Chain A
């Protein structure tokens, strides 16, 4: 079986009813999969279901998830009646070996995703200590890999001393140091100014091309999709309405996807004249 993350038939339920239904996602190594959709369309829930970290109750009630890396395959939701409390505990145990070592997470607000009382260097050392296969590189090497020109100056800094872009780079370094093969990036460039956004995007492209990391990139900014996407998923109101290869983005057929696309074009046009 080829390496990758394959999710089929995801259904997430909340206290008031179905939140996400019939979502199929793939994340393959060395590819960027972009998941777009309006706020509340279920993007984050779908991504978190890959980590078994859906907060809603009852939560994931249906899903087939297959994560393959090397000669190992995990099927964390397999054979569970996901409505029961016990099943959630079992799923939690099954997800633990996946989190971090196979599936990493890039948060939206990176600064708040670092322990506020630990320096960047210390957090990186903690991440390195969690690795299954030890690595000789120290924190500075990982920071350099995430695009810091002078990593040794970043190491002693606390999260509140970082700018948004630096914090996002530090998070990338953290995920790399932890040894994640696939990264789930939940709007990692939202809230950053355009030049920093551009730099972070470059960094993610470099991750794909140099480290062979597979990315699931969640965003509601369609403008960055053409540069980034090897594959595009569009979600609307809890279901997948579009699933296109990256070179066929002009073939958006569904109404929600077209509306999103046109709105993006109008905003970009309005700003740039």
Chain B
């Protein structure tokens, strides 16, 4: 594996570890409020210090993984379920059926993604799961189109023809040889990009939601999200500056990590 892939894999592994730690830790976001410890700098008791309510920033950073890892994976799964079969089918049959399917996805893709997500949240509320579903729907055209063009390119290749002539069932050629053997890195790459996109959307909305309490966007306090952690500490005088910097850096590192891993996968891929 190349350098960007290795770095990306390390970051994503760290995210998964943080998620696991958070799930088993039983850290209580409310019980941790302690006015005696507010605005402390980094120290051995609190690795990244505390925020202005005296809560441990490092623990909140780890706990915030719960609002994007699970829903992010759900978003990936949903987008793949929507995009991959449709794109694969269109690429395989071609013709009018393919045009029809691609048209539907083009209509979805023509809406700006973020606006689509905001719209869904405004109507259906802003639980992270709704957010994940909206991001998945908004992202599925990109996946469908990528799978479509990959399958359509391979459809006419000699090895597909040869497999047909050898009596391999078409479903096996499409599902196994094209989608799995020759398409899995492409699909994984798009799933990672969606994961990065979902983290961006979730933290952005949580940030806006925490600044504008009436907007009702994103993850509400006291549940930590890297977005609302930044907003919550924004403008606190004589505060612990790590309480804003740490989540901001975490967003940057994880998005970069997901995209680097996607790039790393792209290198070995071909069409």
| Chain A residues engaging chain B, CB cutoff 8 angstroms | 51, 53, 96-101, 103-105, 107-109, 112-118, 127, 130, 171, 174-175, 178, 180, 184
Contact = CB atoms under 8 A, between A and B. Distances in A.
Interface in B160-178: 161-169, 177
B159 A112 contact: yes
Nearest to A51: B165
A99 B165 contact: yes
Tell me if A's interface is mostly helix, strand, loop or mixed. Answer: loop
A118 B166 contact: no
| Nearest 4 Cβ contacts at the A-B interface | A100-B167, A105-B165, A99-B167, A100-B166
A93 to B, nearest CB: 11
B166 A112 contact: no
B181 A107 contact: no
B47 to A, nearest CB: 45
B158 A178 contact: no
Contacts of B167: 96-101, 130, 178
Interface of B: 157-159, 161-169, 177, 181-182, 270
Contact of B161 (A53, A116, A175): A53
A178 B166 contact: yes
B166 A107 contact: no
B82 to A, nearest CB: 26
A97 B270 CA distance: 33
Nearest to B180: A117
A117 B166 CA distance: 18
A216 to B, nearest CB: 13
Contacts of B166: 99-100, 104-105, 127, 130, 174-175, 178, 180
Nearest to A105: B165
A101 B157 CA distance: 22
A113 B162 contact: yes
A107 B164 contact: no
B171 to A, nearest CB: 12
A4 to B, nearest CB: 19
B159 A104 contact: no
Contacts of B161: 53, 105, 107, 113
A87 to B, nearest CB: 18
